[in-house]
Structure 1
Amino acid sequence: MFTLTHQAHEAVRQISSSGTTAEVPGLRISRRSDRPTFAVRRAAAPQEMDRVVEHDGARVFLAPIAALRFADSVLDVRTDQTGRLEFIVRDHDDD
């Protein structure tokens, strides 16, 4: 099951609450088209085939390939050297 750490939950809620659209936005995790990695981006709504993970105001949309790859993973967040948020998806076994 895909879950969020407390820190990731708070970061997603904060990012989501800063939206100006009528829909509650969230973060979308999808495969990058230019390299074999995944991207985390703000999204106003899930796309048609996305899996939606929602908990207490925090919404994460997983593109189909991300939903398969991260089915048993946890989303975490840390601050990089420049002060920007950096989301990390890791296996539950790494806890």
Structure 2
Amino acid sequence: MLTLTKKAHEAVAAISRPTAPSHLPGLRICRRPDRPTFAVNRVVSPHESDLVVEHAGARVFLGPIAALRFSDSVLDVRTDDLGRLQFVVRAAA
């Protein structure tokens, strides 16, 4: 199961704050359709086939391929020189 570092949990929990009573947004990780990489996006709800990883207000939705690829991984976050968040998935230790 994908786990989150403390910093990633804080960032994803901030992203996952409800925007309306019927919307429970989260961070979605899925395979890009046009290249062999993964995309990370804020979305308002998971796709029907997504695996939902939820812990204490942080919601991560994994597309089917991402769920297989990152089943034993850790999600971390760092900030680039412009202050933008960059999510990184690495193998669990």
Superposition TM-score, scaled by structure 1 size = 0.91
Please name the residue that 1:58 is paired with: 58
Deviation at 1:34, TM superposition (A): 2.2
Q: Distance in 2 between matches of 1:74 and 1:15?
A: 18
Deviation at 1:41, TM superposition (A): 0.3
| Cα RMSD after superposing both structures | 1.0
Detail structure 1 runs of 4+ shifted over 2 Å in the superposition.
19-22
Q: Distance in 1 between matches of 2:38 and 2:15?
A: 19
Instruction: Considering fraction of residues, name the structure with more helix.
Output: 1
Deviation at 1:90, TM superposition (A): 0.4
Q: Distance in 2 between matches of 1:20 and 1:51?
A: 21
C-alpha deviations, 1:51-91, integer Å up to 9, x for none? 00000000000000000000000100000111100000000
C-alpha deviations, 1:7-66, integer Å up to 9, x for none? 00000011122x523321000000112221101101111111100000000000000000
Alignment of 1:11-90 (within 5 A): 11-17=11-17, 19-21=18-20, 22-90=22-90
Q: Percent identity?
A: 67
Count of equivalent residues: 92
Q: Distance in 2 between matches of 1:48 and 1:61?
A: 10
Secondary structure at the aligned position of 2:60 is classed as strand
Secondary structure at the aligned position of 1:8 is classed as helix
Superposition TM-score, scaled by structure 2 size = 0.93
Unaligned runs of 5+ residues in structure 2 are none
Q: Distance in 2 between matches of 1:61 and 1:16?
A: 11
